[in-house]
Amino acid sequence: MLNLSFGIIGYGKMGRIRHQAINEVQAGRVVAISDPDLKICANDIALNTHDEIINNPNIDAVFICTPNYLNKELTIRCLLAGKHVFCEKPPCFTAAEVREIIKVENTNNNLKLMYGFNHRHHDSVIKMKSIVEKGSMGKILWMRGRYGKSVTKDFYRDWRTKKDLSGGGILIDQGIHMLDLFLYLGGSFDQIKADVSNSFWNLEVEDNAFVILKNSQSKMSASLHSTMTQWRHLFSLEVFLEKGHMILNGLITTSMSYGEEILTLALNSSKSPAAVFDNENVTKFNDNNSWRYEIEHFVEAIQKNIPISVGNSDDALQLMQIIDKIYEQKDF
C-alpha cells in the first residue's frame, strides 16, 4: 500500500478536521500546510505557500479547505501539477465551472478528484441509502428537507456574506448538502421552482431558499427550505416511500448544535389507524464517523486506482446544475 504524503491548503476549521481524520486513517501524513493566518506548524510539518504545496513533487494529494472562490482555481492547478485533490464544497460557483474542472480532470485521468459532500458519509444516511437500494420499502414518492441555522450580527464580517467570495448565501453554504442528499437518495430532477430571498439580513447573498424539485418521469418530488432565519440550528430529512418512511432528525457535528442524530423507520400499516408510533423503529447514532469514512474512500481510490464513487465530479456537476437553476429564480 502507498504511504501517501498530503498537503493542506487552508487550515481553518475544515483543514484541521481533515488533518485529524488523515491521522486517524493512518494512510500517510500531512507534510505541509498553507494558511495566511498561520504563523507556525507543529510536529515537523512545513508551513508553505499555496504555490510551494502545489509544486512540491513529494506531495501526492492536496486537501483544499479554502474560502469558496479559491476552490476552482486551486483544484485545476493541483490537477495540472499531478496531485490528487480533495476539495471542500462547493466545487465552484456554477455548472459551467465544474465542466472546466472536468475537462482538466479528464486529461489527467490517473488522478483522483473528490468533493467533500460530507453528509453522504454519516452512518444514518448510509443506512437510508442501503434501504433505498434494497427496495424493501419500494420507490421514493417524495422527500422533504429542512436545514437552518441561527446567525448573529458578527456574521456580517464573514467572507460567506460576500457574493464574490462565497458564490451565494445559505443555499450554497448549507442547503447544498440537503440537495446533494436528495440526489444521492432519489436520483435526478428535471423540474425546479424556487423562491430565493434576502428579506431579513439584507446582504449580498440569500438568507432563505424555498425549493421544489420534481422528476417528471418517476413523479418523485422533493422540497427544501434552507434558511439562516431559523433562529436555531435544525436538520431534518424526511423520505416517504411506497411501503413506509424514513425520518432523520438531527446530525452529529463537532459543535453538536444540530442535536442528536436519530433515524426513525416505519412500514405502512395495512389497517386503521394508518400510523402507530409503537411500530416505529428508532436508531440513535452516537458517533460521527463521516470524516474518517470520507478520507478512507479517497485514500482507497488512490491506493487501488479505482474511481471515486461517492462525491465525484459528476456528482458535483449534477448538483451545481440544480444550484444554477435555483439562483436564476432569486428575487433580488
Q: What number of other Cβ atoms are within 10 A of residue 296's Cβ?
A: 16
Q: Are residues 47 and 79 in the same domain?
A: yes
Q: Are residues 71 and 96 in the same domain?
A: yes
Q: What number of other Cβ atoms are within 10 A of residue 260's Cβ?
A: 12
- Mean pLDDT to the nearest integer, 62-76: 98
For position 289, what pLDDT does the model report? 97
Q: Is the pLDDT of residue 298 over 80?
A: yes
For position 295, what pLDDT does the model report? 97
Each residue's pLDDT tens digit, 249-278 = 999 998 889 999 999 999 987 666 665 556
For position 284, what pLDDT does the model report? 97
Q: Are residues 34 and 81 in the same domain?
A: yes
Each residue's pLDDT tens digit, 129-147 = 999 999 999 999 999 999 9
Q: Is the pLDDT of residue 8 over 90?
A: yes
80 neighbors 100 (Cβ within 8 angstroms): no
Is 91 a member of any domain? Answer: yes
Is 278 a member of any domain? Answer: yes
Q: Is the pLDDT of residue 292 over 60?
A: yes
Q: Are residues 164 and 64 in the same domain?
A: no
Sort 318 into a burial class: Cβ within 10 Å, 0-12 / 13-18 / 19+. middle
Q: Are residues 35 and 86 in the same domain?
A: yes
For position 281, what pLDDT does the model report? 94
Close Cβ partners of 162 (under 8 Å, ≥ 6 residues apart): 204, 205
For position 46, what pLDDT does the model report? 94
Q: Is the pLDDT of residue 43 over 90?
A: no
CATH code: domain of residue 215: 3.30.360.10
Q: Are residues 156 and 60 in the same domain?
A: no
Q: Are residues 112 and 124 in the same domain?
A: no
- Mean pLDDT to the nearest integer, 163-177: 97
Each residue's pLDDT tens digit, 209-223 = 999 999 999 999 999
Is 277 a member of any domain? Answer: yes
Q: Are residues 160 and 212 in the same domain?
A: yes
Is 269 a member of any domain? Answer: yes
Q: Are residues 136 and 105 in the same domain?
A: no
Q: Are residues 282 and 296 in the same domain?
A: no
Is 139 a member of any domain? Answer: yes
Q: Are residues 235 and 273 in the same domain?
A: yes
- Mean pLDDT to the nearest integer, 189-207: 95
Domain span including residue 66: 4-117+291-309
CA-based torsion, 170, 171, 175, 177: positive or negative: negative
Q: Is the pLDDT of residue 1 over 90?
A: no
CATH code: domain of residue 74: 3.40.50.720
**Dist. CA 191–CA 183, nearest whole Å:** 13
Considering its fold, how many domains does the chain have in total?
2
